[in-house]
Structure 1
Amino acid sequence: MNQNPAARLDGSVRVVGAGLLGASIGLGLKARGVDVILSDASRAGLNLAVDYGAGRLPHEGDDPALIVVAVPPDATASVVAAELAAYPTATVTDVASVKVAPLAELEALGDTLGTGDLARYVGSHPLAGRERGGAIAARADLFIGRPWVVCPRPEVPRERVGLVEHLILDLDATPVTLAAEEHDAAVALVSHAPQMVSTLMAKRLDGAPASALALAGQGLRDVTRIASSNPELWVQILSANAPAVVEILRAFRDDLDDVLRALGDVEASGARRALAQDLAAGNAGVAGLPGKHGQDRRYASVVVMVDDRPGELGRLFGELGEIGVNIEDLRLEHSPGAQIGLAEIAVLPEVKTRTIDDLSARGWRIAG
């Protein structure tokens, strides 16, 4: 983020829920000079977020233009309804990772909401997060470059949708417009089903021999990274989006059954070809991911051997800056007890040869 950039938002923003997402929103908006009001059911959590600099405590007479509800999915609808009632002129959005269920709950409240209240609600969801939760893990840059889905409805005035888009742009995220049903189907594929696949693979590690775990490399860590996420939160998310997740996991199960049959008799006619086709299909799927984190052919890889000493990785980054090479992506691998680690750096193809030559001249060892 730039130093003291001007905010698009005008007026105070109230953030309800001072956990990872709420506190990160607060930190990002505060960096823009926005007045952020924090609220949380946990007094200790609220005080931590305030001390961390994510916003201030509520004052009598606060009149926020925008309210962001950042509470677990099971509580989202009730908190949104309470905020709509408490602040009759504010636009209210939420950051829950499911959109159909909260909207259905709000619509079911019917007459208990004031006339036109639902026209002030705009569902949204940032595709950003970390394995750790709570305000202590919050970051002002959490949303930079990340997609943030907005789910407008025909009855919502354009200016209220625009206010949520200003929030997203002020946090340097990218607004994406989807209907609630489209959103839930999409996140089932790219977030919710992968969570279960990662979790079930990590479950195989529980009780595994220490001699096997000692061999674990970056591949296993990549597959199981998100398995350390909060179980209570994920029970809520998966329950709220169960039909879409079930559809994907059933297809995954069918693919897994095919693999089991092929491996069960790997010498049978067509078995090896079936395995090869599945592996190639996986290659194609990864290649379709946008940006740096897919197998993006725009970047070339340089693997540098880094001695296991304090400051060596920082020195590598510093020298890459000195030779004018931008790190497009980075992957680190270090085996326990090894005296070196491997830093796989993604660079533009046109600078790969120069990067290798310049780093080698400075004494760095290039692997491969």
Structure 2
Amino acid sequence: MRTALVIGTGLIGTSVALALQSRGVQVHLSDHDPDRARTAAAIGAGTDEEPDGRVDLAVVAVPPAHVAATLAEAIRGGRARGYLDVASVKGGPRRDLEALGCDLTGYLGTHPMAGRERSGPLAGTADLFEGRPWVLTPTRETDTEVLNLALELVSLCRAVPVVMDADAHDRAVALVSHTPQLVSSMVAARLRDADETAVRLCGQGIRDVTRIAASNPEMWLDILSANPGPVAEILSAVAADLDETVRALRALDSGDKDDREGGAAGIEDVLRRGNAGRSRVPGKHGAAPTAYETVAVLIGDQPGELARIFADAGRAGVNIEDVRIEHATGQQAGLIQLMVEPRAVPGLVEALTDRGWSIRQ
């Protein structure tokens, strides 16, 4: 691949362009808003000038509702050797293209499983896709050259290719992406009118649950409008769990012993099913989840503190598998939670204590 055309210079399109440019591909940028394309070009994502002729690959990075029309225009204009889109739903756009009578041999639907709460070209980064799954949905009609171009794109973006059926993909992302977005937003919505005293008690748990609720509503309306059926099915199952949980909680408040025992059993059931589901989430580097131990350390909010604690852990020969920071409300300090292999805990605690760190059990 020597040349590419990226149509749509939001977060994903600009990030694709930045990754390709950094690896020697000449990228041309196009957007319905010329200012966005100029902004992407200004940060090094390519040029907003039209290509002289046909490019090797056209990447359509527009909202799902506009994918088919944008692709159809590009295909009919013969703008590239191969065409793909990066929308978060796959079945609908392909069916729309078929209805428009397009030749789909040169098209492949894809979806990089990466994103941020921010949007727009200035949110783009060349490393957005590194190590992340990138779904490819080829069919029997897909030309081998287009599949190879898509695999080359994934490689240049340093992502991991995953081949799936388009409709299976849409059901999967409804479960692991679209429904969590709505549930996160619903929980965060409870905070909007909450008493200020309650909000001040927010800790890491509520921050984790509501992190993605900061996402752009217009963008998510586009995504959910393109995949409403599968999301509704999963939310219906979640709603059934909520109804059962509400009944169990009411029973816990009952004066009847049998009711309380039944309520406790219902709550325990949903919590244990949650444990089982959480244990299936892939761990580090996509491997099976590993049970790490947590070493909590008091850390000041000053420049260089994170570098110092990581360096001290490194000198102790301990690899930090994961890390979280829990900020203390109203204080210039917080707890850093270092996740390590269980056998590494004693040595890490001893080393950090010797270097003056305050370990919190």
Cα distance between partner residues in 2 of 1:320 and 1:62: 54
The residue correspondences of 1:87-166 to structure 2 (distance < 5 A) are 87=78, 89-110=80-101, 113=102, 117-166=103-152
Q: 1:211-248 CA distances to partner (integer Å, 9 max, x unpaired)?
A: 11111011101111111111111112112111101110
Q: What TM-score, normalized to structure 2?
A: 0.93
Task: Choose 294-303 or 229-238, whichever is displaced more.
Answer: 294-303
User: Where in structure 1 are there 5+ consecutive unaligned residues?
Assistant: 1-9
Q: Distance in 2 between matches of 1:338 and 1:87?
A: 60
Q: Is the 8 A contact 1:119 1:157 kept in 2?
A: yes
Give 1:309 deviation, angstroms: 2.5
Aligned to 1:5: none
SS of 1:65's equivalent? Answer: strand
2:174 paired residue number: 188
Q: Does 1:37 align with 2:23?
A: no
After superposition, the C-alpha distances for 1:19-45 in whole angstroms (9 at most, x for unaligned) are: 111111111122212211111111221
2:302 & 2:23 partners in 1: Cα distance?
38
Q: Distance in 2 between matches of 1:98 and 1:346?
A: 35
CA distance in 1, matches of 2:186, 2:247: 20
| 2:297 maps to amino acid | V
Structure 1 280/198 Cα, relative in aligned 2: closer, same or farther at 3 Å?
same
Letter in 2 for 1:22: G
Identity of aligned residues (%): 45
Matched, 1:284 2:270: no
In the alignment, which of 61, 75, 78 is matched to residue 84 of structure 1?
Answer: 75
Q: Retained in 2: the 8 A contact 1:193–1:249?
A: yes
- 2:336 pairs with 1:343: yes
Question: Offset of 1:336 from its aligned partner?
Answer: 1.7
**TM-score between both structures, scaled by the size of structure 1:** 0.92
Q: Residue 263 of structure 2 aligns with which residue?
A: 271
How far 1:294 sits from its partner (Å)?
10
Q: Could you give the per-residue CA deviations for residues 73-117 of structure 1, whole angstroms, max 9, x where no partner exists? A: 11111111111122355211111001111111111101xx3xxx3
| Contact 2:72–2:97, Cα closer than 8 Å, also in 1 | yes
Q: 1:56 aligns to what? A: 47
Taking the aligned partners of 1:93 and 1:60, their CA distance within structure 2 comes to 18
Q: Secondary structure at the match of 1:132?
A: coil
In structure 1, what is the Cα distance between the partners aligned to 2:32 and 2:287?
39
Aligned length: 354
* Aligned residue identity for 1:265: A
**Which 10-residue stretch deviates more, 357-366 or 56-65?**
56-65
Q: What value does the CA root-mean-square deviation take over the aligned residues?
A: 1.8
Matches of 1:31 and 1:356, distance apart in 2: 41
**What is the aligned counterpart of 2:307 among 314, 321, 328?**
314
**Quick one: structure 1 residues 321 and 83, their matched pair in 2 at CA, closer, same or farther if it must change by over 3 Å?**
farther
1:298–1:280 CA distance, 2 compared to 1 (3 A): closer
Q: Structure 2 CA distance, aligned partners of 1:125 and 1:342?
A: 36
TM-superposition CA deviations, 1:128-160 (whole Å, max 9, x none) = 000011111111111111111000010112221
8 Å contact 1:15–1:68 — kept in the other structure?
yes
